Structure 1
Amino acid sequence: MNLSFYIARRYLFSKKSHNAINVISMVSVCGIAIATMAIVCTLSIFNGFTKLVSDSFSVMDPDLQITVAKGKAFDPGTKVFDEVRGLPEIDIISETVEDNALVKYGDRQTPVQIKGVSKHFRDMVNTERLVTYGEFSLREGDVDFCVAGVGVAANLGLRIDNISPIEIYSPKRDVKVQLANPSSAFTTAYTYPAGIFTLNQVKYDENVILVSLELARELFRYSSEVSSLDIKLKNNENTNEAKTKIQKLLGDDYLVKDRFEQQADSFRMVNVEKWVTFLILAFILVIAVFNVVGSLSMLILDKSADIDILRHMGANNALITRIFKIEGWLISMTGAVSGIIIGLVLCLIQQHFGILKLGQDADAFVINAYPVQVMVSDILFVFITVTVIGGLIVLYPVNNLKKRLNRKV
């Protein structure tokens, strides 16, 4: 065993001549352990929220989505898209037209997002799971139907057993408004409510009405253009590899987004909150680690006689300073390891028993308790952070000892 490490380990766990040093050393270890535990638990909770968002990908979020880099619509009938359709990784491609419109039902009206979907939408989405009231039907013969989000249905007071149609108004592209006849600047379409869907996502529930692709093209004055191509990959296909291959075929004029990029705003918000919270807790950790300075300084004073004995036995200044440097590192790492273990135990308890609740009203949230997911990368990052901060702060009392020893030479 390395002599410096052996002596440092003995100093850490042996009883000191002054009991206050033992107390301060224990306070240092506990302070670091508590701060480390808080960081581990906090990062794990934010990971849990990230996982919750990813698990709550709606059935309408495709594996991959192709959109145009500039503009709102593109023609999917070109040769390059034929090459995309021929890729072996792709199972289904569904055409989609999306745009904003104003809908009116009875004496109520509200702005919504009209989402026109092709017949392949049924093959991509479990419509029985999607629709919670009524049925999924978008067109029968010459009659157009729609399926509205539960929030939209509530705002409009939709009733699927009512024969009154929904009126949809969309401004015509490249048409100036005539003050004498402003209604001529709008395209009007009529559709009947067939069902109501619920995804527990405001993005869809409060804004979207599903209609047929043909009705959407008629409403927004498109011929063959689409807003996006939604892609479902075959089972066990690697999303990143398929995305890279499609992007290479399409070039920079188009964007290929996976599910995380389609929900970029949600993930960005969670990640920003996660790392801002980490920086705040890291600052608290720095304050806790400063206790090591006091503990190590008092230990150096307490072991002055031992230092003189070691010097008389032939120990050089480098060996002596290394002993106390390792001592400081041991205090930091003991606190770090203890905090990580306690944090992991608490996360495990929360994960299995859900002790920490989100609120008194269990029905007000999608989940009842704070979600937790422990990531090995976060644990390693926390350990390295504590070790680096502890190692840097230890240098201050050790350098003072080194200067004092040099003056005695």
Structure 2
Amino acid sequence: MNFPFFIARRYLFSKKSTHAINIISAISVVGVAVATMALVIVLSVFNGFHDLVASLFTSFDPQLTVVPVTGKTVPNDDPILTQIKALPQIDIASETIEDQALAVYNNKQAMVTVKGVEDNFSDLTHIKEILYGDGEYELHAANLQYGVIGIRLAQDLGTGAKWNGYLKIYAPQREGQLDMSNLDGGFVVDSLISPGVVFSVKQSKYDAGYILTSIEFARNLFGQQGMLSALELRLKPGSDLDAVKMKIQQLAGDKYRVMDRFEQQEDTFKIMSIEKFIAYIFLSFILIVACFNIVGSLSMLIIDKKEDVVTLRNLGATDKQITRVFLFEGRMISAIGAIIGVLLGLLLCLIQQEFGIVALGDSEGSFIVNAYPVSVHYVDVLVIFLTVILIGWLAVWYPVRYLSKRLLN
């Protein structure tokens, strides 16, 4: 057995001549354990919100979308897009046109994003699962053009789930100059009627600013006949998403960018990742402060064991081995604290997942979920454990070497 480790283990669990040393050692373990537990819980809550947001976007966003790198639109008969549609792994391919416009209803107005989609959009996404109202999902019938709007946009415009009359949509003319004396002449104006339903993605970006309609309506409104702004794809069951994405990107070259659901919401998830990293950094600083307790415990232990050190030297132990005894002592304190903290953190996360003890608000239904969402990612747990061990070991290395030279010589 490693001699310094054996002695350090005996020192850690044996009763000291000064009872305060045992108390400080216990406080050191508790401090490291609490900081570790906080890291596990906080990062798991961030993961929970990340997974929650991802699940909400799933109902509206396609598995993959192909968008032009330059410009807003491209011809829909581009040979590259035709090749992509013909891939055997593609189950559904749907063209879309998307741009900004002004929606007006009963003297209320709002800037909106009009998204024109093909009839197979409901097969491409889960849009029908997030509809509310007495009507049915419908984009056009004969010469009638319908608009399915977000639930918050319906509130802002005062339309409700079903509006009477027409919802007017204004889009700037693509050609010519705007005549300030005749502002109406600078816009293309068209109207939508209500199918009697609204959608709720539970994300402000969509619920407060999107209108779904037919691609023919959008092309006429924006003057984009024969064009598309994105090709949205759904893969056949069992397809390898990453492999298919790579294959499509090879076909697309530098002309198109292929994005999965996370890349489609890149800004949202990037902000969440930054927040999670900042939380990790701040809690790591708290962990560093907690590790100073270990230094205090070791300094008192070194003083308490001065006579033992003399005995060890007489038995042939070198100064390097004696120093390693106290290094192992500090490392074991940090390791025990890390293990206890990880286990407690996982236990509390499991309790929150099962029972939702910590609620988001006082009244049920005020938020998308009633309790803080928690998702344990075991890669994060491993990173936390290694972080605690690294900080604990570095925190005791220099102080132990310095104290050993000053107090044991």
Same fold, TM-score > 0.5, yes or no: yes
216, 223, 226: which is aligned to 2:225?
A: 223
What SS class does the counterpart of residue 137 from structure 1 fall into? coil
Q: For 2:301 and 2:127, how far apart are their aligned partners in 1?
A: 70
Residues 122, 128 of structure 2: 8 Å contact kept: no
**What does the per-residue CA deviation read over 1:345-371, in whole Å, with 9 as the maximum and x for residues that have no partner?**
111111111111111122210001111
Aligned pairs (5 A) from 1:176-215: 176-194=177-195, 195-215=197-217
Unaligned runs of 5+ residues in structure 2 are none
> Match for residue 232 of structure 1?
234
What SS class does the counterpart of residue 256 from structure 1 fall into? strand
The Cα of 1:404 is off from its aligned counterpart by: 4.5
Q: For 1:392 and 1:162, how far apart are their aligned partners in 2?
A: 67
393, 399, 402: which is aligned to 2:401?
A: 399
> Match for residue 165 of structure 2?
164
Instruction: Give the letter aligned to residue 158 of structure 2.
Output: G
Worse overlay, 160-169 or 89-98: 160-169
Residues 32, 291 of structure 2: 8 Å contact kept: yes
Q: For 1:131 and 1:111, how far apart are their aligned partners in 2?
A: 22
249, 255, 273: which is aligned to 2:257?
A: 255
Instruction: Give the letter aligned to residue 87 of structure 1.
Output: L
Q: CA 1:3–1:225 in 2, change beyond 3 Å: closer, same or farther?
A: same
- Could you state the TM-score of these two structures normalised by the residue count of structure 1? 0.96
Instruction: Give the letter aligned to residue 222 of structure 2.
Output: F
- Aligned pair count reads 407
Q: For 1:289 and 1:197, how far apart are their aligned partners in 2?
A: 52
Worse overlay, 35-44 or 195-204: 195-204
**What does the per-residue CA deviation read over 1:60-90, in whole Å, with 9 as the maximum and x for residues that have no partner?**
2000011111211111312111211111111
Residues 59, 126 of structure 1: 8 Å contact kept: yes
What SS class does the counterpart of residue 252 from structure 1 fall into? coil
Poorly superposed stretches of 4+, deviation over 4 Å: 159-163
Aligned CA-pair RMSD: 1.6
- Could you state the TM-score of these two structures normalised by the residue count of structure 2? 0.96
> Match for residue 348 of structure 1?
350
What SS class does the counterpart of residue 370 from structure 1 fall into? coil
Unaligned runs of 5+ residues in structure 1 are none
Residues 92, 232 of structure 1: 8 Å contact kept: yes
The Cα of 1:401 is off from its aligned counterpart by: 4.4
What SS class does the counterpart of residue 371 from structure 1 fall into? coil
> Match for residue 174 of structure 1?
175
The Cα of 1:131 is off from its aligned counterpart by: 2.4
Residues 58, 126 of structure 2: 8 Å contact kept: no
Residues 62, 232 of structure 2: 8 Å contact kept: yes
Q: For 1:160 and 1:338, how far apart are their aligned partners in 2?
A: 53
**What does the per-residue CA deviation read over 1:274-310, in whole Å, with 9 as the maximum and x for residues that have no partner?**
1111111111110110111111111111111111011
Residues 158, 193 of structure 1: 8 Å contact kept: no
**What does the per-residue CA deviation read over 1:213-262, in whole Å, with 9 as the maximum and x for residues that have no partner?**
01100000011111111111111212111111111111122111100111
> Match for residue 124 of structure 2?
124
What SS class does the counterpart of residue 284 from structure 2 fall into? helix
Instruction: Give the letter aligned to residue 337 of structure 2.
Output: G
Q: For 1:197 and 1:398, how far apart are their aligned partners in 2?
A: 63
Instruction: Give the letter aligned to residue 6 of structure 1.
Output: F
Residues 329, 394 of structure 1: 8 Å contact kept: yes
The Cα of 1:144 is off from its aligned counterpart by: 1.4
Aligned pairs (5 A) from 1:308-347: 308-347=310-349
Instruction: Give the letter aligned to residue 105 of structure 2.
Output: Y
Identity of matched residues, %: 44
Instruction: Give the letter aligned to residue 332 of structure 1.
Output: S
The Cα of 1:393 is off from its aligned counterpart by: 1.4
The Cα of 1:155 is off from its aligned counterpart by: 2.1
Q: For 1:196 and 1:328, how far apart are their aligned partners in 2?
A: 61
Residues 199, 207 of structure 2: 8 Å contact kept: yes
Aligned pairs (5 A) from 1:10-409: 10-133=10-133, 134-158=135-159, 163-194=164-195, 195-404=197-406, 408=409
Q: For 1:315 and 1:128, how far apart are their aligned partners in 2?
A: 76
**What does the per-residue CA deviation read over 1:147-188, in whole Å, with 9 as the maximum and x for residues that have no partner?**
111122222222676551221110011321112322111111
Q: CA 1:368–1:181 in 2, change beyond 3 Å: closer, same or farther?
A: same
Q: For 2:150 and 2:123, how far apart are their aligned partners in 1?
A: 20
Q: CA 1:348–1:243 in 2, change beyond 3 Å: closer, same or farther?
A: same
Q: For 2:172 and 2:30, how far apart are their aligned partners in 1?
A: 65
Q: CA 1:366–1:127 in 2, change beyond 3 Å: closer, same or farther?
A: closer
Q: CA 1:177–1:3 in 2, change beyond 3 Å: closer, same or farther?
A: same
